[in-house]
C-alpha cells in the first residue's frame, strides 16, 4: 500500500535542515552570527527567519523556515494546477539565499518545499518542489564543475535521467526573459513533484537539502580570501541587480509568499543589501567581466563527456584548475 503523506515528518526534516545549515554557515563566517525572528501569519501558521548581515564572509545570508496554511490556494500556487483553485492548503519549506562580501564568491540559493491542497469531498493532493542554483560574478571553471558534479550526485539515487531533467528545468526557470540571459550557472529545480509516491518524492527533497552545503561551502572556502578592489565590487553590485529583477518579476516563491500574506521581511530577505543599475552597460572585451557573459552566462552541459563515477571534490580540496 502506498505511503500516506506525512506532514509531521516533512516538518521535522525541514526544521532540522534549517538548524544544520545555520550552524555550518555561522562557522564558515566566523563573524556576526544570525539574528532570529519568529513570526505568525494572521491567516494561519508562521515561521522562523534567521538573517546574518555584515559578517566576515557573508554580506547578507538569510535562511527561513515557514509553515503556513489557509482556506484557499493563492493564484501563484494554483497557476500550474488550475483544477486545485479554491482548495485549502498547507505549505512548508526552507529557503536560503547567501550574498557574500567578496565578489569572487558566488551568491547561492536553496529552496525545498512541500504543499498539500485539500478539499472535503476529495483526496488530498500533495507535491514537493525546490532546488539550488549558483550565481557567480566572476567565473571559475572548477567551481562550476564542482557545483554540477554535486548536483548530479544529488540525483544519482533516483536514476541517471533525473539530473539532466532537473538541470534543464533549472536552466529554463532561472532565466531572465527580458534580459535574454540566465541568472547564473544553474543547478537543479523541480516543482509539482509527486512521482514514485510520497516516500520517493520526499527522499528527493531531502537529497536536495542535504547536498546544498557540500556543493557551496568548498567554493566559499576557496574564494572568500581572494583580494579584490573597487572595480570588482562595482561589477558585483551591478550583477546583483539581475538577482533583484528575477526575484521580483519571475520567482514563484516570492509571489506565493506575498499573495498568501506571509511576512514581507522574511520573503524579501533574499534581496542583496547593496545593488546598482547602470544604463546600457557592456563590459570591455577581453576582461574577466566580459568572460562572465561569454563563458558562464550560457546554458550548456557543464559535465558533457564525464562519466557517472565523477564525485564532487571534498571541502578545501580543489581539483585541477584555478585555485586563486
Residue 180 burial (CB count, 10 A): 7
178 is in an annotated binding site: yes
The residue with greater pLDDT, 320 or 292, is: 292
pLDDT at 260: 66
Strands 88-100 and 186-193: unpaired
Q: Which superfamily does CATH assign the domain made up of 7-296 to?
A: Coproporphyrinogen III oxidase, aerobic (3.40.1500.10)
| Matching residue, cell 492548503 | 89
Please state the pTM of the whole predicted model.
0.88
- Please write down the long-range contacts of 142-145, taking CB distance under 8 Å and 24 or more positions apart: 142/313, 142/318, 142/319, 142/320, 142/321, 142/322, 142/323, 143/106, 143/219, 143/222, 143/223, 144/185, 144/296, 144/302, 145/302, 145/303, 145/319, 145/321
pLDDT at 315: 34
62 is in an annotated binding site: no
262 is in an annotated binding site: yes
Of 109, 200, 211, 282, the active-site residue reads 109
The residue with greater pLDDT, 321 or 295, is: 295
- For the CA atoms of 264, 41, 48, 6, the dihedral, rounded to the nearest 10 degrees, stands at -130
- pLDDT band of 324, cuts 50, 70, 90: very low
Q: What is the pLDDT of residues 35-67, one digit of tens each?
A: 998 888 777 888 999 999 999 999 999 999 999
112 is in an annotated binding site: yes
Q: Is 67 a catalytic residue?
A: no
Report domain extents, the chain.
7-296
Per-residue cell: 21? 545549515
Helix axis angle, 212-223 to 141-155, nearest 10°:
170
Q: Which of 17-26, 62-71, 104-113 is predicted least confidently?
A: 62-71
109 is in an annotated binding site: yes
- pLDDT band of 205, cuts 50, 70, 90: very high
282 is in an annotated binding site: no
Helices (H), 97-251: 141-155, 162-173, 198-210, 212-223, 230-249
113 is in an annotated binding site: yes
Whether 312 has a pLDDT exceeding 50, the answer reads no
Question: How far is the C-alpha of 187 from the C-alpha of 164, rounded, in Å?
Answer: 10
Amino acid at each position: 500500500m502506498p505511503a500516506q503523506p506525512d506532514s509531521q515528518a516533512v516538518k521535522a526534516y525541514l526544521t532540522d535542515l534549517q538548524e544544520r545549515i545555520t550552524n555550518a554557515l555561522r562557522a564558515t563566517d566566523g563573524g556576526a552570527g544570525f539574528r532570529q525572528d519568529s513570526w505568525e501569519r494572521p491567516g494561519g501558521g508562521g515561521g522562523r527567519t534567521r538573517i546574518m548581515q555584515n559578517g566576515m564572509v557573508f554580506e547578507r545570508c538569510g535562511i527561513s523556515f515557514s509553515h503556513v496554511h489557509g482556506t484557499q490556494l493563492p493564484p501563484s500556487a494554483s497557476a500550474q494546477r488550475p483544477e486545485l483553485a479554491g482548495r485549502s492548503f498547507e505549505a512548508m519549506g526552507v529557503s536560503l539565499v547567501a550574498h557574500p562580501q567578496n565578489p569572487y564568491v558566488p551568491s547561492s540559493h536553496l529552496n525545498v518545499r512541500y504543499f498539500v491542497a485539500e478539499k472535503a469531498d476529495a483526496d488530498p493532493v500533495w507535491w514537493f518542489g525546490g532546488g539550488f542554483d549558483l550565481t557567480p560574478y566572476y567565473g571559475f571553471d572548477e567551481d562550476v564543475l564542482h557545483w554540477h558534479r554535486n548536483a548530479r550526485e544529488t540525483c544519482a539515487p533516483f536514476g541517471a535521467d533525473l539530473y539532466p531533467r532537473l538541470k534543464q528545468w533549472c536552466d529554463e526557470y532561472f532565466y531572465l526573459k527580458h534580459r535574454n540571459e540566465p541568472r547564473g550557472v544553474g543547478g537543479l529545480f523541480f516543482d509539482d513533484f509527486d512521482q514514485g509516491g510520497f516516500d520517493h518524492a520526499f527522499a528527493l527533497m531531502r537529497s536536495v537539502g542535504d547536498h546544498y552545503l557540500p556543493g557551496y561551502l568548498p567554493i566559499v572556502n576557496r574564494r572568500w580570501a581572494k583580494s579584490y578592489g573597487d572595480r570588482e565590487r562595482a561589477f558585483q553590485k551591478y550583477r546583483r541587480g539581475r538577482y533583484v529583477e528575477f526575484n521580483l518579476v519571475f520567482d514563484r516563491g516570492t509571489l506565493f509568499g506575498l499573495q498568501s500574506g506571509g511576512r514581507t521581511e522574511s520573503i524579501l530577505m533574499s534581496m542583496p543589501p547593496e545593488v546598482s543599475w547602470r544604463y546600457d552597460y557592456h563590459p570591455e572585451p577581453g576582461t574577466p567581466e566580459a568572460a562572465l557573459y561569454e563563458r558562464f552566462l550560457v546554458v550548456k552541459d557543464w559535465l558533457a563527456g564525464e562519466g557517472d563515477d565523477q564525485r564532487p571534490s571534498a571541502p578545501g580540496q580543489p581539483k585541477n584548475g584555478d585555485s586563486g
